[in-house]
Structure 1
Amino acid sequence: MNDPASRAATVAAAKQSIARGSKSFAAASTLFAPKVRERAWLLYAWCRACDDIADGQDHGHDMTGVADGPERLAMMTAKTEAALAGVPVGEPAFDALRLFAAETALPPALPRDLIAGFALDAEGWRPQTEQNLYRYCYHVAGVVGSMMAIAMGVSPDDHATLDRACDLGLAFQLANIARDVAEDARAGRCYLPQDWLDEFGIPAEALLAPQYRDRLGSLGERLGLLAARYEESARYGTPALAFRSAWAVLAAAGIYGAIGRSVATLGPRAWDARVTTSRQAKLGFIRRAFDEARRRRVLYPATERDATLWTRPR
């Protein structure tokens, strides 16, 4: 797209999408340098639109569930492939992907990996094992972390940094799953591995029954602690980023990581009300991240990634 006015309109729509869909990510994105910030909005707009299409929701809210998952997936795939081929789609979110892909030389395999995650949902897939859970989290969030790193200027060949970026996506998704256990259950979904449910004697069809709430709280704590491990690993990728990108990433890690930590702390009470991070807390994480970013090479020196953590496919 060579028309500056058309690009500006697409960026404006993307900015509106992130403002509606995630106050946490919107707050963190303001810390990016202008070019990176716009590309973050463009990527978010496409990811948000695909998620909404798959789940029958509006900017991540009011999930209703869908009865035509395969048809939605086919439509989403066709528009995504058109965008990757440089064809104008006529919808802001998919034209946002077209812009993003052209401006970053995005490897097409990455957005296709995200679509594969939505395909799992369209099939009514559920994780049977912890390894299944990690692979799902990669497809719906870890790959987004890798694409965001590319938006920040990381080379697609820098696998070490992309691994760390993927870790942050995994951390966010694990925290998401922990926070949304009740909402997902009411929509007929469960992302807790079946072997975990078997371990705690919780029937998937009665996940929210009062007699299982204490055990469910223990699983929420497990998810929150796993999210924290991946969040910590991700921080060691920030020395490879420019200061403002590192600042934004570390702020997002703190803001969103607080959700997983809250679920872990609340235990059985984690689903009495939706866990959020207050505006005051967000500002605190942003201030803390500024100092952290300045000292990132000291705080997070080059080190081998924890080999016990699941890693993205190559």
Structure 2
Amino acid sequence: MLASQPIAVPLDPAARADLAAMAEDTIAKGSRSFAAAARLFDAETRRSAMMLYAWCRHCDDTIDDQVLGFARRPLGTLCSGAERLALLERETLAALRGEPTSHPSFRAVADVVARHGLPQELLLQHLHGYRMDVEERHYATVADTLTYCYHVAGVVGVMMSMVMGAKDETTLDRASDLGIAFQLTNIARDIVEDARAGRVYLPAEWLADADLKPGDLADPRQRPVVSLVANRLIDLAEPYYASAFHGLRELPPRSAWAVATAHGVYREIGMQVKGLGANAWDARVSTGRRQKLGHVARGAAKAALARRGGPAGRSEALWTRPRLMGPAR
């Protein structure tokens, strides 16, 4: 059962400015793709978006014993993933109650919750995605993989959309769709790296179709077959990217521009993985500065096109996020 929604209190301007600076530094080092898009938000939206990202980044690093998603750090006193997760849950809820915490990202997310009325349930849904990693969940079906994608990325899209002012359920569904598309792209790009770490997010039914075992994913001899499975993931992401495009019209113009830019950057990563075939994992696929600048320009046009178009129905074939147990505030 969910705990009652704590009443978080917004930070004073000076404290918020300090935390926003911390968050901006975090995003600049931890995600160049998101950083490029975040610059397009208006100042207040950018602060909140970066502060929410800083909490997500800290949670991810804590579970994986990493710093900004890259360098490994020595294990501290919390040796098990379950202990790390329990700490994240305790400190997140403590921050929402206004209690002291061990890391500034918790105060940052509490401020975002207070300013934008984010339901506590959304934060707990995101933390559940880390629980799925800690418990080494088995993903038997496509629906299982999509459920994981929602918890680690789709729900972040929902929270970011609420930061931008969206409340309509259909718009939030499309925000979830974009997060899911991003995560499907990430899984395709990182199949080999994840497999080496003992994590497999591909549906087991797809592996069976390709006559692959989980241990085959890191085997260079299996790369041609692995690339075919990766292509299925990238193709699966396409209708979610398409759905997310239609949600741009419901966002403020600057926010729509930023989201459209991120949409283009991440989708291109998937297209690169698909184009490289068996060579997609020789080096980490990413977009360069010139490519990002191109997506900034195209993002403005994409946002304008979405705004001119009429509302489009969301396909019932798409996996749909769970509805909140309580209404959004």
- Is TM more than 0.5 here? yes
* Distance in 1, Cα, partners of 2:217 & 2:141: 17
Match of 2:37 in 1: 28
**What is the deviation of 1:297?**
2.2
Runs of 4+ in 1 over 6 A off after TM superposition: none
Structure 1 residue identity aligned to 2:145: L
Three-state SS of the structure 1 residue aligned to 2:146 is helix
Counterpart position of 2:258: 248
Determine the structure 2 residue equivalent to 1:177.
Answer: 187
TM-score (ref. length: structure 2)? 0.91
Q: 1:213 aligns with which of 214, 219, 223?
A: 223
CA contact (8 A) 2:11 2:111 kept: no
Q: What SS does the aligned partner of 1:236 have?
A: helix
* Offset at residue 95 of structure 1 (A): 0.9
- Measured in 2, the distance between the counterparts of 1:202 and 1:62 equals 30
Judge which range, 55-64 or 38-47, deviates more: 55-64
CA RMSD of aligned residues (A): 1.5
Closer, same or farther: CA 306–65 of 1 in aligned 2, 3 Å = farther
Shift in Å at residue 47 of structure 1?
0.5
Aligned equivalent of 1:268 = 278
> What SS does the aligned partner of 2:119 have?
coil
CA distance in 1, matches of 2:100, 2:258: 31
Question: Are residue 4 (structure 1) and residue 10 (structure 2) matched?
Answer: no
Distance 1:198 1:27 in 2: 39
Matches within 5 A, 1:30-69: 30-62=39-71, 68-69=80-81
Unaligned runs of 5+ in 1: none
| 1:312 aligned residue (291, 308, 321) | 321
Say whether residues 1:115 and 2:124 are aligned partners. Answer: no
Partners of 2:264 and 2:145 lie apart in 1 by 23
Identical residues among aligned pairs (%): 47
Deviation at 1:222, TM superposition (A): 1.0
Alpha-carbon separation, structure 2, partners of 1:65 and 1:198: 37
Aligned length: 311
Q: When the two structures are superposed, what TM-score results if normalisation uses the length of structure 1?
A: 0.95
* TM-aligned CA distance change 1:107 to 1:176, over 3 Å: same
- Of 70, 85, 100, the residue aligned with 1:73 is 85
Contact 1:228 1:260 in 2 (8 A): no
1:98 corresponds to which letter in structure 2?
A
Structure 2 distance, partners of 1:87, 1:296, is 43
CA distance in 1, matches of 2:155, 2:142: 18
Q: Is the 8 A contact 1:228 1:261 kept in 2?
A: no
Query: C-alpha separation between the residues in 2 aligned to 1:277 and 1:309?
Result: 28
Give the structure 2 partner of residue 96 of structure 1. 108
Shift of 1:88: 3.7
Give 1:55 shift.
1.3
Provide the rounded CA distance (Å) in 1 between the counterparts of 2:23 and 2:154: 21
Structure-2 residue corresponding to 1:286: 296
